[in-house]
């Protein structure tokens, strides 16, 4: 056994440790935030006389150069640099010599990484917010075309009441509105600057944390340095916000998958957003929607990972916290591409109005309207009304028609108190339009909801 094994240990201890410890393979994503943070820091140090003007100028110049090098692909990331902070510091020192090392005065890697990561999370929370707004606009455009398109409202995947397709889309618009609000709320709450907290206790240098906070676009500096270098709440928040976003995306995806089945055929994905089969030209696999549904598992995993990592950690920084980034990067990038592809899928979706409306004729969706009529207009007690309705539904089944298609004479055979004024109430469209309460499915009320969202979008 040991021989079999010995082959595995070819790398040296330090190579192995580098591979295990180094975060540069993933934290290089933070290069932009790291350079932004360093420029703010150098600016403040110079303003406060901790760094000479000329040193600060050289340092900022070098940081700008490094940024260009990274973005042009020239920059070489080395595992031995361990993390992005060291990689950039090494490089500016290579460019401008020992002056470069002065940049690290009055800060430590602990507050630096907290600043970079927080800037990343704030920026991504904002860009995801904007993607959500764009998705809502696309949904709104589609909704405006379908305020009169009947679709069976379902509970338990069983037909329940007639609604309209715009109304259905507005449910998702409402969910995504909350996702937007959650992201914005997190941005506001976490708009505090860690820079200057140093290792865990602050610094004896005469720094100005309000100034770096301002330069970095934060509302104010954090309150307590020990907390600041130990805190990853902002990372947990974006992970949760994305998990909740995917609850909604996965529900939408599930509906799109079911609606794409042969049995439903309510919608058809464009060729660009589904995959076909060369041999069965009519077959379209809703791969995109299935992946969107599945991504929910992935982002939930990332959330539970960080919650588990942070549980029970003593203050302040522990190396465990290096496990904070990969999950956040993965959830963010999953959300970015998923919102993009969901938006595009909706933009190019074919809505099969005929199939939707035809489906409303299955399941006697206006049975409750008949019962309501009996109570309201014939003054029949509730229980009896239910019984009569049951008989009417049974009769419709015998006739192999939907209750919305039954003739007056049939109804009157069941109960002679029923009159001609019942018929309009049994129509699917009338039924849908009768639900005029706030938030209801009537076309007019649906249009109110659209207006509400439009006003809200304009107000942003």
Q: Residue 200 interacts with its own copies (CB under 8 A)?
A: yes
> Beta 150-155 vs 158-164: how paired, if at all?
antiparallel
Around 35, how many Cα atoms within 13 Å sit in the side-chain half-sphere?
Answer: 22
Query: Is residue 228 within the footprint of its own copies (CB under 8 A)?
Result: yes
Q: Which residues pair with 275 in a beta bridge?
A: 285
Q: Which of residues 55-114 bind its own copies (CB under 8 A)?
A: 98, 101, 106, 110
Q: What does the alpha-carbon distance between residue 162 and residue 412 come to, in Å, rounded to a whole number? A: 24
Closest residue by Cα to residue 117 from 283, 265, 290, 327: 327
Is residue 309 part of the contact set for its own copies (CB under 8 A)? yes
277 is catalytic: yes
CB of residue 63 to its own copies, shortest distance in Å: 20
Rule CB under 8 A: which of 264-303 touch its own copies? 264, 272-273, 275, 278-288, 290-291, 293-298, 300-303
Task: Output 5 or 69, the one with its CB closest to its own copies.
Answer: 5
Query: Alpha-carbon distance 439 to 361, whole Å?
Result: 24
- The site map against its own copies for 117-156 (x = CB under 8 A) is -------------xx-xx--x---------------xxxx
Q: Is 394 in the site for its own copies (CB under 8 A)?
A: yes
Six-digit token string for 55: 């040193």
Q: How far apart are CA 116 and CA 210, in angstroms?
A: 17
Question: Which is nearest to 146 in space by CA: 284, 267, 273, 292?
Answer: 267
Q: Which residues, including other chains, have CB under 8 Å from residue 11's CB and lie 6 or more apart?
A: 19
Known catalytic membership, residue 156: yes
Choosing from 54, 80, 185, 277, the catalytic residue is 277
* Residues in CB range of 134: below 8 A, 6 or more apart: 343
Identify the residue among 358, 386, 395, 429 touching its own copies (CB under 8 A): 386
Cβ(333)–Cβ(125) under 8 Å? Answer: no
Minimum distance, C-beta of residue 279 to its own copies, in the bound complex (Å): 5
Least gap, CB of 179 to its own copies (angstroms): 8
Pick one of 117, 120, 218, 246: the residue that binds its own copies (CB under 8 A).
246
Judged by CB, which is closer to its own copies: 34, or 445? 445
Contact between 421 and its own copies by CB under 8 A: the answer reads no
**Site map (CB under 8 A) of its own copies, residues 333-372, x = contact:** ----xx-xx--x---x----------x--xxx--xx--xx
Neighbours of 436 (CB within 10 A): 12
Task: Identify the active-site residue in 6, 156, 278, 459.
Answer: 156
Active site residues: 156, 277
């Amino acid at each position: 056994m040991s021989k079999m094994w010995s082959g595995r240990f070819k790398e040296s201890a330090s190579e192995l440790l580098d591979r295990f410890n180094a975060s540069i393979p993933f934290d290089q994503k933070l290069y932009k935030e790291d350079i932004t943070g360093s420029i703010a820091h150098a600016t403040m140090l110079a303003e406060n006389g901790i760094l000479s003007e000329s040193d600060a100028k050289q340092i900022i110049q070098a940081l700008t150069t490094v940024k260009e090098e990274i973005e042009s692909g020239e920059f070489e990331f080395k595992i031995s640099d361990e993390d992005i902070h060291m990689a950039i510091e090494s490089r500016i020192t290579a460019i401008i010599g020992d002056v470069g090392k002065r940049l690290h005065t009055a800060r430590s890697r602990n507050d630096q990484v907290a600043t970079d990561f927080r800037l990343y999370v704030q920026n991504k929370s904002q860009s995801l917010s904007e993607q959500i707004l764009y998705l809502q606009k696309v949904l709104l455009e589609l909704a405006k075309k379908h305020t009169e398109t009947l679709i069976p409202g379902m509970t338990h995947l069983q037909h329940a009441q007639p609604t309209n397709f715009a109304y259905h889309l507005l449910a998702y618009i409402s969910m995504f509105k909350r996702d937007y609000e959650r992201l914005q709320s997190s941005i506001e709450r976490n708009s505090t600057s860690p820079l200057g907290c140093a290792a865990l206790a602050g610094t004896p240098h005469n720094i100005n944390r309000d100034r770096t906070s301002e330069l970095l676009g934060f509302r104010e500096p954090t309150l307590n340095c020990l907390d600041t270098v130990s805190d990853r709440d902002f990372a947990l928040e974006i992970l949760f916000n994305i998990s909740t976003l995917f609850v909604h995306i996965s529900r939408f995806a599930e509906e799109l998958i079911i609606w794409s089945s042969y049995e439903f055929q309510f919608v058809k994905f464009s060729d660009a957003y589904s995959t076909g089969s060369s041999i069965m030209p009519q077959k379209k696999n809703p791969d995109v929607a299935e992946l969107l549904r599945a991504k929910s598992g992935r982002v939930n995993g990332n959330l539970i990972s960080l919650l588990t990592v942070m549980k029970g950690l003593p203050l302040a920084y522990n190396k465990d916290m290096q496990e904070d980034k990969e999950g956040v990067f993965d959830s963010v990038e999953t959300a970015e591409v998923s919102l993009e592809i969901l938006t595009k899928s909706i933009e190019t979706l074919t809505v099969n109005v005929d199939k939707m409306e035809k489906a409303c004729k299955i399941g006697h969706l206006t049975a409750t309207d008949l019962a309501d009529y009996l109570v309201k207009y014939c003054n029949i007690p509730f229980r009896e009304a239910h019984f009569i309705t049951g008989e009417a539904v049974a009769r419709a089944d015998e006739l192999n028609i939907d209750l919305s298609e039954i003739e007056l004479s049939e109804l009157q055979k069941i109960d002679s108190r029923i009159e001609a004024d019942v018929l309009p109430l049994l129509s699917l469209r009338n039924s849908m339009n009768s639900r005029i309460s706030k938030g209801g499915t009537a076309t007019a009320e649906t249009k109110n909801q659209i207006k509400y969202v439009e006003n809200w979008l304009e107000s942003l």
